Structures are given as C-alpha cells and as structure tokens.
Amino acid sequence: MQKKIFAVIGNPVSHSKSPDIYNYLFKKYNIDGTYIAIELNEENIEQFLKEFAKGMNLKGVNVTMPLKEKAATLSRRLDSLSELLKTVNTLDLTTGTGYTTDGKGLLLSLNYRGFDITGKNVVVIGAGGAAKSICYEIARAKVNSLTILNRTLLKAKELADIVGGAIKTDDLSKMDEYMQDCDLLINCTSIGMKGKDFEDLSFINLLKKNSFVYDIIYEPRKTRLLKEAEKNNIKCCNGLDMLICQAFYAFEIFSGIMPDKEERDELLNML
C-alpha cells in the first residue's frame, strides 16, 4: 500500500515546525504516513492541488500564509467557520473539505496552561490571518469583553462585523486605554518578528499581575513583548503551543485521533 503523504503548503515554509509535529504523531500512533513542506504561491496552488496532489498520494494539507484565502476558494466544501471567514488552514483532500483550527488551538493551549477565559476581558492586536478564527472562538467562549485593536481601524470593524456579537474595536494607538482592565492580551500580528517590533512597550506596565500575554509568533521564541511581560512577572506564552494544539485538531481531521496533553508536553520539549 502506498504511503499516505501530508504537507504544509505556503511561502515560506522552510522554517515550519509542522513536519516535526505530524511525523512525531504518525510515529506515536503507528500511522503509515509522511509529512513534508511544499513551497507554493497563489499562482501555482490550483495547478498543484488539481494535477499533482493525487499523483503523489497527498491526503491532506495544512495551509499557511499567503494561501489561506485562495485555498478556501479551491475547496469543494467548507466547514461553517471557514465559510464565514473565507479562509482555511486545513484541507482534507479525501473529501475536498476546508477547515479552520487556529482559534480552537489557542483556546486548547490556554486550557492546558490553566487559564480560563470565562468572564475575562480579552484584547486582540491585529485583524488579519489567525486573528479571524481566534476572535471567532473567543467571542463564543463566554468572555466578559473582546476588543480588537488594529493599525487600520476599518479592518478591525470589518472583522467584528463578520464575527458578530458586542465586540469593541479601536486604533492600535489607543492601546494604553484598554490595558488596565485587560485579563488576556493576544498579539496576532507579525510585530515582534525579525525587522518588526513595537515602538513602545510601556503598555505592559499597565497590565494586572494576574493577566496573561499570548504572542502567536514562535520565531523568535521570546519576542520583546514576552520579555517585557516576564520582567513584570506576568504569565506569557509564545505561538509554538498554539501551533501544536491547532495541529492536534487538524490531525484529528486527517486520522480520527485527537492527541492529548501528554503529546503536547512532549512536543513542546522536543521542538
């Protein structure tokens, strides 16, 4: 029987930890599968999925930037969340169905860390990419409030309209105004990656000591945002935990098996 192939597609993907995560899970659960990284752009994803995927026995892909929106248009069907957001991060090629697991992954990560967001005031920085599904899941998790801050206020308002509910939006320059009541701060932007950073991190000093700072970036492992949080003795987490947890949901789609906290702990130590 031909080995099942799975892959992460996008550009760039050479840095991706996904092959390490899935190949570990395949071995753990005795699944005859291999996971690889394939660099694709918007210009060649359609040809790849239609002409090459079947020939190489590709059964499923995880989709990263900049292909999430394009992959949604190429799916035969979408789950309800992907239909709403017009984006996917997981494609089951055996059924042609697109899924979105980022938001669920972040909530599972927080749950594993013992942080209950019920009744909390949550502030999300950013309104694109993973922020979409993260805001969707948070808005339905019985939080006290959700505020989206973005450099382009219109994009924050558009996301709030899509997600629905009583979501506040504001310009990122107003950050300080929301920090005192904030219980969970999530950076969903690329601010903090190489060549990009917050001009001023003094807003961290306004956070409560029992708050939580989550940066979905995982390279570098400790952004300046997380370093400042640690200096203030505030609990924090980088994006590697979310990457692992959202992969668990995708792995369940591919295999029918949902890994547990033990596997998550092993992967955090391994990666």
Residues that are catalytic: 68
DSSP lists the bridge partners of residue 165 as none
Instruction: For residues 129 and 171, give the distance between their C-alpha atoms in angstroms, rounded to a whole number.
Output: 18
Encode 37-51: b = buried (16+ Cβ within 10 Å), e = exposed: bbebeeeebeebbee
Find the DSSP H helices in the chain.
18-28, 45-47, 68-74, 80-85, 102-112, 131-139, 153-163, 176-179, 224-231, 240-255, 261-270
Distances (CA, A) of 85 to 73, 125, 127: 11, 18, 12
**Single-letter amino acid code for the residue at 118:** T
